[in-house]
Structure 1
Amino acid sequence: MAKKKTSKSKSETLDFSKYVRWFWIVFLGGILSVVLLFLFASWGFLGEMPDHTRLENPETNQATEIISSDGETLGKFYFNDNRTPIGYADLPQNIVDALIATEDIRYYKHSGIDGRGTLRAIYKLGKGGGASTVSQQLAKNLFTKQVSANIIERLSQKVREWVIAIRLERQYTKEEIIAMYFNIVDFNNNADGIRSAARIYFGKEPKNLDIKESAMIVGMLKNPSLYNPRPHKNPVGTRNRRNVVLAQMAKYDFISEALKDSLQKTDLDLNYSPESHREGIATYFREYLRGFMRDWANDENNRKPDGSKYDLYTDGLKIFTTIDSRMQKYAEDAIEQHMPRLQAEFDHQNTPERNKTAPFVGLTQSEVNTLMNNGMRRGERWRILKNQGKSDKEIIASFDVPTEMTVFKWIDGKASEVDTIMKPIDSMRYYKSFLRPGMMSMDPLTGHVKAWVGGMNYRHFQFDMVKQGKRQVGSTFKPFVYATAIDQLQFSPCDSFPRTPITIEANKFGNPEPWTTKNSDGNYSGKQTLKDALASSTNTITARLINEIGPQPVVEMAKKLGVEEEILPVPAIALGTADISVYEMVAAYSTFANKGVYNKPVMITRIEDKNGTMLYQFVPESKDVLSEEVAYVTVNLMEGVTQGGSGTRLRHNSSWLKSTPLYKEIMTGYPYELDNPIAGKTGTTQNQSDGWFMGMVPNLVTGVWVGAEDRAAHFKSIRYGQGASMALPIFGLFMKACYADETLEVSKGNFEKPANLSINVDCDSTGEGSTDSEGGSEGDIQIDF
């Protein structure tokens, strides 16, 4: 019996050892399979894997960033990826804490794969939460992208993510991985990466995000489309998801329970600031910059090391500009303050009862029809339909078909959009009824352009009235005549001339007919000093000057001052018949403020690639145009404009507005009461089609133009249609805001007088014939206030 038991025991032992052997075979085989699986994945057998170079420099499209002179981002150029990477140091600690608490609490303890989380996910079949670490999520976003629906492919993809995550952990520090992860995530609404998300959803840089803002952004990581905070998306769900993140932060002691409870009760408090090519700050300048960069990239001298072109939309360039974001904002604010008031008065004067051909003045219905037909053929709609093969008859008929559209409108003094149904032909007329501005401000000492506003709303008015638009300059051209006369004949501001009419006979200076000019106030008696004459814009005295020196030297002077347009050398140019851009006029006036030295306007100081390598640096372009003495005397003459001429309202309150129909609306924001030295000149063209004001202090020159698209759309009288009413208020509001911001250091001092000044400028102004008006061009009517 004992022997039998022993035999049986041995048999059982042999059977048990068999199981042990199989266990080790399976166990070791499993480990070998996992090892082989990882090896196959790393060798690329399960799909393409990034090599060392791609791990070192992951391929991500980066937006080109436009940076102001004071270090702010003005905007970006991009197609699909509005991404500007930042470093870990630029992240607030609270957003890192929120990420760790919500997505990967053992982040600092693993090397890319969280074993405990993976086993939990396998045991619960994924129902207890995912096992993806931050490193794995980064690997997926960088290299594997789309999640496959096929289970085999998904498992293969998961293994590849594990391998890449481990490689990333070896290649980068934990901090670098977190920064890369935040930079790669798409938060929707063109918010690619944490920097764009912070700016778009909260209007601030990432480092300034508070705890609840960071929690909202981290909450979006789960599903940026589902947990989107915009009102028409899912703000309630986003708020709930944010509160989950706050709860996780409290659970792991990143914040206290009391703080969590307090923050969970708050609203999202969005400051939604979309970043698109047609929205944001300095839109017209950015569009100019796009053209500049396109030409720069096409230049064969500006190539990548491999010989290919730089891509403005994907290569992550940094464009450093001269625009000051503060001045740019003040300029845009000044326009938004003044233009709706001016537009309200213009609309008041152009109701159908007051003007049957509104907004056009002085045209017959036949002339209006011709103007509108020409406008149709020049428009984008005509071009598009023509390219589609439509006949002229079909295109014209389409302009009478009511269409859904969104139009621009001033509402409560703010630029707004309204959805409506309108015939395209009616929308053309509607947009032609708007007065439009153009404004540029520049440092005359350096040529740096500080503010550039080509219109009041780029989405609806895309033609840039700073550089593209060229309009008659009216009396703002007169300082060129005076400067030429002073340069050639050494005239003094104290020299007097008769106001009597003067006729320049036919054939003199190539003029085919006799030319006689008028004074806007109808006063031709007595004499005036040159200073008083420029202040009151006396036409007859300007005509006498050009009769003395001839128009050709004046044209040459304008060319030296940077005017690019062809100017006919005829006497009428003395009153501003030439079409010139705001850009050219500001550069020209800056020469006077810069002691006779012309600086070509500078908009870009340098361009860098995404690694900070310098690709372009501007070279100043300067030239001597006038002597310091002539420049100073010309400036001294223009100071008279703001001391006793059409620019005087910059000095005092706006009592003249009390008689206007819309006094209460227009008075808001006035007076300016600027008491420092300012040189300037107003300008008004024939029929009040264009209003100008050029203003200067020693370190800032600003030009403003206001008018409609078509010259036939204008104020009926000069009361509102002159430059002092249309353009000067924008300058006044802008300068008032600049002076309120002491960090800008805009000069309040005197223009520097040359040490060897030989021309007398200290003359007592008699004020004879001086009025708060301007002469403009031929035929200007008298100002009645």
Structure 2
Amino acid sequence: MATSSKTFKSRVLRATKRKWVKWSISVLIAVILFFVGLYISIYLGAFGKLPTKEVLSSIIQEEATQVLDKDSKLIGKFYIYDRQPVKFEDFPKHLINALIATEDSRFYEHDGIDNISLMRVFVKNLILQDKSAGGGSTITLQLAKNLYGRKNYAFFSMLINKFKESIIAKRIEEVYSKEEILTLYLNTVPFSDNTYGIESASRKFFNLSVSDISIHQAATLVGTLKANTYYNPRIHEERSKGRRNVVLNQMVTYGYLSKDSLKYYSNKELKLDYRSFNHDLGLAPYFRAEVKKQLASILDTLKMPNGESYDLYKDGLIVHTTLDYKMQELAEAAMKEHMTLLQADFEKAYGKNSPWETNSILIKSAINNLPQVKAYKEKGLTDKQIDDSLKVKRLVDLFSWKGDTVQKISTIDSLKHHLKFLNTGMLSVEPSTGAVRTYIGGIDYRYFKYDHISQSERQVGSTFKPFVYTAAIENGMDPCTYFSLNKVTYTNYDNWTPSNSGSSEEDPYINYTLEKALSNSINTIAVKVLEEVGIPKVIEQVERMGISKELPNQPSLALGVAEINLRDLTGAFSSYLNKGRAVKAYYITKIEDKHGNVIASFEPEISEKEAFSDYTRQVLLEMMKSTVNNGTASRLRSTYGLKNEIAGKTGTTQNNKDGWFVGLTPNLATITWVGNDNHAIGFKSTGLGQGANSALPIFAKFYQKLNSDSEFNSITRAKFERPSQKVLDDLDCEDTKRDGFFKRLFKKKEKKKKFN
């Protein structure tokens, strides 16, 4: 009986085992059939059409538009995805070695799918639970993912995406060579900070083209591919350095790097030269914004060979501009140095009684102009609701010359904070062409989007006076004509009495020549010269110099009450350096498609006719040289020690709202402006706000920097041509002349008259 019982149990056990074996085999077959069926359905397009070999052979990548300076140096990009493709021969060998050693050591041996690597992953990862085994993904598989992305499906998303990538990878390997695959991969792979492609990453993190990066820099970038946020070298320096060293060790493991080199590069400091190509950051953001605006209208007129319109963000255009990269850097540095100090003086002068804190009318007006307030009103919110909303404290980014901060403050407090800042505009052009060499539209594009070159019109103050004197000389006035300093009240203009800044009492019996009057910016004489020449002739003269806007037909025109765009003003002053011909500032020289074919080119816009005679031009230059050597701009010599040949003119407007300086050297015309964005806020005193103190120092510091760099010798060492003998003779007279006894006897200190 016992034997019979054991036999029965044995039979049952064998039957059970057979059932489990059959069941297991059935399950295995079902799983295999499922996978095969899923694979076939994916292959046939059940989960989306897969790219054919023909499609893969003509891959079109979205490429960033590059903006280059006059020497083809990259200054910015326009993009949705920051991608900048390069050729295989541009990749240094150590970059390829680092990539293969780290991401796909059998790259040259497989056909897109590394079966040996997959088996290793299966055994180590799934059976031995060794998570260091990796994922078995090849460079070609990663390329497939980079090119076509992944989709979410209701079930088995990862599996479906992996199958799709494996099919695409196989086709890629059949279409492209290994070098071409590496090129495609390195041009599409995502790096840290929303950067696509190795060239863009190299320029962003090291300010180098990929062809110039070193071994440890290449290893750093390759290291980020494992997790580009986690190993971002800008945010996580030590973590990135550790990952870099893992890549270097991999290079040693696969024979791409010696152990001695490993020790050397592993100990190197991770030094970044980070350059953001964010539209709000980086070099010349106001210039790039203006170029972008111009490109939008230019591209509307152009078509691709297939008849489609160009896309600024995707078609990889190459925009060549007139900007000088290095000169722009120096200009921005000069601006920041001066504006930091001037802002501190500006706030100190007001103390606790600053208008941005105490002037309720000004603050209320500024609040009402806020976009969000206008939006609240459109939604029908009451004044109290709007006020309550503006008082809610939030984390806000605040600009500061000492360094930006984030504070929890209300919208009103944020407005007051930014309301106090002085702003600036600075433009330098090549006077013979109008080519823009430097362009500063404001102090910081992130916080102050308003461009004081392309958008702003401000009163130009005494910078208008050279135009009055130009009209006078052009219409036959002798440069040695004398005018009295005495004040005159013009009864037909509301008893307006122009006066001179700097002294309350002046000797009414002293007379100045035109040169003395201009170099010392004498208001009373400027108005008298305007009266003698006539307002219509002055306006005509200004129009010939390229300023076409309507000017006020009143005697205060001589003192610069006209509001003129800085760009137009620079073009007009360039005529004194360009044989009397005005120029228009221009920015773009040519546009190429991504293959280097020129699709548009642009020439300088120079006035066909001279705005004035060469005699007039030389006389005015001599007068403006005197302004620098002996007049209101003499601190260029005394304070800043500039020995360059410079002609110039300072300018200050009513109530010290605007400070100006025009700096002319033989090969560069530069104008700087300083003031507050809000017209109601001026400088506390003329001493602080006058152009010689507020605007001139930016030019001075800029030229100090230019002088220290031999690259700019053609500008800094250029000489004005010697004026003709007639000009020298006509200017050869005493600067001042005092009235004789009988003339003084009958001359009243204060005179009233009608302005003719």
TM over 0.5, shorter chain? yes
Superimposed CA distance per residue, residues 528-558 of structure 1 (whole angstroms, 9 cap, x where no aligned partner): 2211111101122212211111112212222
Structure 2 Cα separation of the partners of residues 565 and 277 of structure 1: 32
Kindly report which structure 2 residues correspond to 1:334-353, keeping only aligned pairs within 5 A, or say none. 334-352=334-352
Deviation at 1:210, TM superposition (A): 1.6
Question: Which one of the candidate residues 145, 148, 167 is aligned to 1:143?
Answer: 148
Q: Structure 2 residue aligned with 1:621, among 605, 612, 616? A: 605
1:64 aligns with 2:65: yes
Partner of 1:458: 445
- What is aligned with 1:78? 79
Q: 1:87 to 1:149 in 2, by over 3 A?
A: farther
- Deviation per residue, 1:155-192 (Å, 9 max, x gap): 55444434433433343343332222112111131222
Asked if 1:528 is matched to 2:515, the reply is no
Farther-moved stretch of structure 1 (576-585 vs 153-162): 153-162
Instruction: Give SS of 1:224's match.
Output: coil
Counterpart secondary structure, 2:404: strand
Q: By how many angstroms is 1:263 displaced?
A: 2.3
Residues 130 and 724 (structure 1), Cα distance of their counterparts in 2 relative to 1, 3 Å cut? same
- For 2:630, give the aligned amino acid: G
Amino acid aligned to 1:383 = K
One of 630, 641, 649 as aligned partner of 1:644: 630
| Corresponding position of 2:252 | 250
8 Å Cα contact 1:334/1:734 also seen in 2 = yes
Aligned AA (1:176): E
Deviation at residue 58 of structure 1 after TM alignment: 2.3
Cα drift, residue 739 of structure 1: 2.3
Matched, 1:741 2:743: no
- Partner residue of 2:387 out of 392, 396, 403: 396
- Per the TM alignment, residue 604 of structure 1 is displaced from its structure 2 partner at its CA by 0.8
Q: 1:473 touches 1:579 (CA, 8 Å); kept in 2?
A: yes
Query: Equivalent residue of 2:315, what SS?
Result: coil
What displacement does 1:305 show? 4.0
Aligned letter for 1:491?
D
Shift in Å at residue 72 of structure 1? 1.9
Match for 2:273 among 261, 271, 274?
271
Deviation at 1:631, TM superposition (A): 2.1
Distance 1:388 1:72 in 2: 48
CA distance in 1, matches of 2:193, 2:733: 62
Mapping for residues 370-449 of structure 1, pairs under 5 Å: 370-411=361-402, 416-449=403-436
Unaligned runs of 5+ in 2: 1-31, 739-756
CA 1:247 to 1:351, structure 2 compared with 1: closer, same or farther past 3 Å? same
1:292 corresponding residue in structure 2? 294
Q: Is 1:469 matched with 2:456? A: yes
Q: CA contact under 8 A between 1:78 and 1:312: conserved in structure 2?
A: yes
TM-fit CA distance, 1:148 = 7.1
Q: Partner amino acid for 1:132? A: S
Give the match for residue 3 of structure 2. none
Distance 1:733 1:403, change over 3 A: same
Q: 1:218 to 1:580 in 2, by over 3 A?
A: same
Q: Tell me which amino acid in the other structure corresponds to 1:748.
A: R
Question: Separation in 1 of the partners of 2:619 and 2:432?
Answer: 18
Q: Distance in 1 between matches of 2:214 and 2:154?
A: 38
How many angstroms apart in 2 are the aligned matches of 1:396 and 1:46? 54
What SS does the aligned partner of 1:253 have? coil
* Residue pair 1:351, 1:358 contacting (<8 A) in 2 also: no
Q: Which amino acid aligns with 1:208?
A: D
* 1:596 alignment partner in structure 2: 580
Pick which of 449-458 and 266-275 moved more: 266-275
Contact 1:190 1:196 in 2 (8 A): no
Alpha-carbon distance change, 534 to 185 in structure 1, aligned in 2, over 3 angstroms: same
Once the two structures are superposed, what CA deviation does each residue of 1:384-431 show, in whole Å capped at 9, x if it has no partner? Answer: 3335443344223333333331211121xxxx2112233322322222
Counterpart for residue 748 of structure 2: none
Residue identity opposite 2:320 in structure 1: F
Task: State the alpha-carbon separation in 2 of the partners of residues 767 and 320 from structure 1.
Answer: 49
CA distance in 1, matches of 2:291, 2:375: 26
Distance 1:761 1:484, change over 3 A: farther
Q: 1:548 aligns with which of 523, 528, 532?
A: 532
- Residues in 1 aligned to 2:453 and 2:333: alpha-carbon distance in whole angstroms: 17
C-alpha change, 1:534 and 1:284, in structure 2 (3 Å) is same
Give the CA deviation at 1:712: 3.5
CA distance in 2, matches of 1:209, 1:217: 10
Structure 2 residue aligned with 1:569:
553
> Cα offset for 1:78?
2.3
Measured in 2, the distance between the counterparts of 1:767 and 1:388 equals: 66
Q: Which amino acid aligns with 1:171?
A: V
Alignment root-mean-square deviation, CA: 2.9
Shift, 1:357, TM fit: 4.5
Deviation of 1:325 (Å): 0.8
TM-score (norm 1): 0.83
Q: Aligned pair 1:169/2:170, yes or no? A: no
- Residue of 621, 638, 644 corresponding to 1:676: 644
CA deviations over 1:111-158 (Å, ceiling 9, x no partner): 43434334434554675333332222212211253587955x655544
Equivalent residues of 1:679, 1:695 under 8 A apart: yes
The alpha-carbon deviation at position 606 of structure 1 amounts to 1.4
TM-superposed CA distance for 1:199, in Å, is 2.5
- Alignment check: 8 A CA contact 1:189 1:274 kept: no
The size of the alignment, in residue pairs, is 697
Which string of whole-angstrom CA distances, capped at 9 and with x for unpartnered residues, describes residues 25-69 of structure 1? Answer: xxxxxx999999999866646642223453233243222221111
Query: Which residue of the other structure, out of 134, 137, 145, is the alignment partner of 1:132?
Result: 137
Would you say the 8 A contact 2:191–2:225 is kept in 1? yes
Residue 50 of structure 2 corresponds to residue 49 of structure 1: yes
Letter in structure 1 aligned against 2:343: Q
Aligned to 1:778: none
| In structure 1, C-alpha distance between the alignment counterparts of 2:53 and 2:513, rounded to whole Å | 79
SS at match of 2:626: helix
Structure 1 pair 728–123 and aligned structure 2 pair: CA distance change class (3 A): same
Match of residue 543 from structure 2: 559
Query: Would you say 1:583 and 2:567 are equivalent positions?
Result: yes
Q: Deviations over 1:620-663 (max 9, x none)?
A: 322122233322222221111111001111112x3xxxxxxxxx
Conserved? CA contact 1:350–1:359, under 8 Å = no
CA distance in 1, matches of 2:107, 2:62: 27
Pairwise CA distance, 1:594: 0.8
Please give the secondary structure, in 1, of the residue aligned with 2:687. helix
Change (3 A) 1:403 1:533: same
Q: Unpaired runs of 5+ in structure 1?
A: 1-30, 507-511, 655-671, 771-785
Match of 1:773 in 2: none
Contact 2:151 2:161 in 1 (8 A): no
Contact 1:77 1:277 in 2 (8 A): yes
Question: Which amino acid counterpart does residue 751 of structure 1 have in structure 2?
Answer: F
Distance 1:207 1:725, change over 3 A: same
The alignment status of 1:717 with 2:685, answered yes or no, reads yes
Equivalent pair of 1:436/1:709 in contact (CA under 8 Å): yes
Percent of residue pairs identical: 37
**CA deviation profile, 1:491-531 (whole Å, cap 9, x unmatched):** 33x4433333345552xxxxx44543222234233222211
